[in-house]
C-alpha cells in the first residue's frame, strides 16, 4: 500500500514537471518566460541603457520601447544615439526617449553628474532599471625591456 502511494505521488510529480516543461520552454528547449508578463513589469518605468548606440543596446532599447518603457539612451556617439532614437520613435511614436551622451572613461565626477542628469529626466522619476551594456577599455601599458 505504501509502495502504491509512493509511485502515485511520483507519477503526479512527474506529470506536473512534464506540464511545466511543456508550457515554459519553446521548440529549442530554451526558457521563454516565467512570472507575470514583462510588459506589466516595464510599462511606464524608466529604463537607462548604456551602450545603446548599436548592437545589443540598440535592440534592447527597441524592445523596451515596444513594452512601454520610458528610455534613457547613453553612449559616446551622439549621432548614433540620435539615429536609434529616431528609429524608436518611427516605430513607437508615443515612446518617451531621452538621449544622455556619456563616456565611461571621463572620470568619477563626470559619471556622478551624468547619474544626476539621468535621475532628473521624466519629472525626476529616477531610474527603475539600468542595463549596463557599454564597453570600456583601460589603456594598456606595455613595457618592453631591451637588453
Same domain, 56 and 116: yes
Same domain, 60 and 86: yes
Query: Across the strands, what pairs with 71?
Result: 47, 97
- The predicted pLDDT at position 73 comes to 97
Name the pairing type of β-strands 70-74 and 97-99: parallel
Q: By residue range, what is the domain housing residue 114?
A: 38-132
Instruction: Give the Cα separation of 1 and 5 in Å (integer).
Output: 6
Instruction: Give the Cα separation of 33 and 60 in Å (integer).
Output: 17
Same domain, 29 and 86: no
* Pair 81, 52: CB distance under 8 Å: yes
Same domain, 23 and 55: no
In a domain, 137, yes or no: no
In a domain, 109, yes or no: yes
In a domain, 144, yes or no: no
Name the domain count of the chain.
2
- The predicted pLDDT at position 142 comes to 64
Same domain, 13 and 55: no
Instruction: Give the Cα separation of 94 and 41 in Å (integer).
Output: 18
Same domain, 87 and 69: yes
- The predicted pLDDT at position 107 comes to 83
Quick check: helix, strand or coil at residue 103? coil
- The predicted pLDDT at position 8 comes to 87
- The predicted pLDDT at position 9 comes to 85
What is the full DSSP assignment across 107-144?
-HHHHHHHHHHHHHHHHHT--SEEEE-----PPPP---
In a domain, 89, yes or no: yes
CATH of the domain at 78: 3.40.50.720
Strand arrangement of the beta sheet that strand 129-132 belongs to? 97-99, 70-74, 46-50, 129-132
Same domain, 50 and 100: yes
Quick check: helix, strand or coil at residue 64? helix
In tens digits, the chain (147 residues) has pLDDT values of 778 888 888 888 888 877 776 666 555 455 555 555 677 888 999 999 999 999 999 999 999 999 999 999 999 999 999 999 999 999 999 999 999 999 888 888 888 999 999 999 999 889 999 999 987 666 666 666 665
* Pair 79, 101: CB distance under 8 Å: no
Amino acid at each position: 500500500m505504501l509502495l502504491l502511494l509512493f509511485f502515485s505521488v511520483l507519477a503526479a510529480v512527474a506529470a506536473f514537471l512534464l506540464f511545466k516543461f511543456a508550457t515554459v520552454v519553446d521548440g529549442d528547449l530554451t526558457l521563454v518566460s516565467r512570472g507575470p508578463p514583462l510588459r506589466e513589469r516595464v510599462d511606464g518605468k524608466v529604463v537607462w541603457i548604456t551602450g545603446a548606440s548599436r548592437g545589443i543596446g540598440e535592440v534592447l532599447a527597441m524592445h523596451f520601447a515596444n513594452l512601454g518603457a520610458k528610455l534613457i539612451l547613453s553612449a559616446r556617439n551622439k549621432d548614433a544615439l540620435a539615429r536609434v532614437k529616431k528609429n524608436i520613435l518611427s516605430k513607437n511614436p508615443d515612446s518617451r526617449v531621452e538621449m544622455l551622451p556619456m563616456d565611461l572613461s571621463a572620470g568619477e565626477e563626470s559619471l556622478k553628474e551624468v547619474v544626476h542628469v539621468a535621475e532628473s529626466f521624466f519629472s525626476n522619476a529616477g531610474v527603475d532599471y539600468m542595463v549596463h551594456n557599454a564597453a570600456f577599455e583601460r589603456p594598456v601599458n606595455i613595457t618592453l625591456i631591451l637588453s
